Structure 1
Amino acid sequence: MSRSPRGASVAVTAVLLVGAAALGAWLVLGGSERGPGAVPRFEMVDASTPGDVEIVIPAGTASRLASGAPVSAVPRLIEPHVGDVVVVRNEDVDAAFLGPFFVPAGETIAHRALSTGVLEGSCSAHEDGRITVVVAA
Structure 2
Amino acid sequence: MRYLIPILVVVFIIVAVAVWIISQPPEPQPVEIVMSSDPFPMHLGANTLSIALTQADGSLLRDALVAVDVSMDMEGMLLPTTGYAEIDDEGIYHFPVLWSMMGEWTVNIAAQLPDERIIRDEFDVFVYAVPQTSPNLQPVYQSNSEIADLTQQPNEAWIIIPLGTEMLFRTGGGDDLMPDELRLSVSGRNTLVIQNNDIADHNIGPFYVRAGETLRQTFTEPAEFVGACSVSHSDTVTVIVEG
Of residues 144, 159, 164 in structure 2, which corresponds to 1:55? 159
Higher normalized helix content (fraction of residues): 1
Report the TM-score when normalising by structure 1: 0.58
Q: Find the counterpart in structure 1 of residue 115 from structure 2.
A: none
4+ residue stretches of structure 1 with deviation over 3 A?
Answer: none
1:61-91 deviation line (CA, Å, top 9, x unaligned)? 1101110114223333221112611111011
Instruction: Report the structure number with the largest CA radius of gyration.
Output: 2
Equivalent residue of 1:64, what SS? helix
For the 8 Å contact 1:56–1:74, the answer to whether it is kept is no
Which shifted more, 56-65 or 71-80?
A: 71-80
Separation of aligned partners in 1, 2:192 and 2:162: 17
Matched residue type, 1:99: G
1:90-137 deviation line (CA, Å, top 9, x unaligned)? 111111110121111011110111321322211111223321101111
For the 8 Å contact 1:74–1:125, the answer to whether it is kept is yes
Report the TM-score when normalising by structure 2: 0.34
Q: Does 1:96 align with 2:184?
A: no
Separation of aligned partners in 2, 1:74 and 1:107: 17
For the 8 Å contact 1:93–1:105, the answer to whether it is kept is yes
Matched residue type, 2:164: G
Q: Find the counterpart in structure 1 of residue 222 from structure 2.
A: 116
Q: Find the counterpart in structure 2 of residue 17 from structure 1.
A: none
Matched residue type, 1:136: E
For the 8 Å contact 1:56–1:90, the answer to whether it is kept is yes
Q: Find the counterpart in structure 2 of residue 78 from structure 1.
A: 182
Separation of aligned partners in 2, 1:129 and 1:123: 7
**Which 5+ residue runs of structure 1 have no aligned equivalent?**
1-49
Separation of aligned partners in 1, 2:162 and 2:237: 17
Equivalent residue of 1:69, what SS? coil
- Percent sequence identity over aligned pairs: 28
1:4-42 deviation line (CA, Å, top 9, x unaligned)? xxxxxxxxxxxxxxxxxxxxxxxxxxxxxxxxxxxxxxx
Of residues 48, 59, 68 in structure 1, which corresponds to 2:172? 68
Equivalent residue of 2:185, what SS? coil
For the 8 Å contact 1:57–1:74, the answer to whether it is kept is no
Separation of aligned partners in 2, 1:53 and 1:81: 10
Separation of aligned partners in 1, 2:204 and 2:226: 10
Greater RCO, CA 8 A, separation 6+ = 1
Higher normalized strand content (fraction of residues): 2
**Which 5+ residue runs of structure 2 have no aligned equivalent?**
1-152
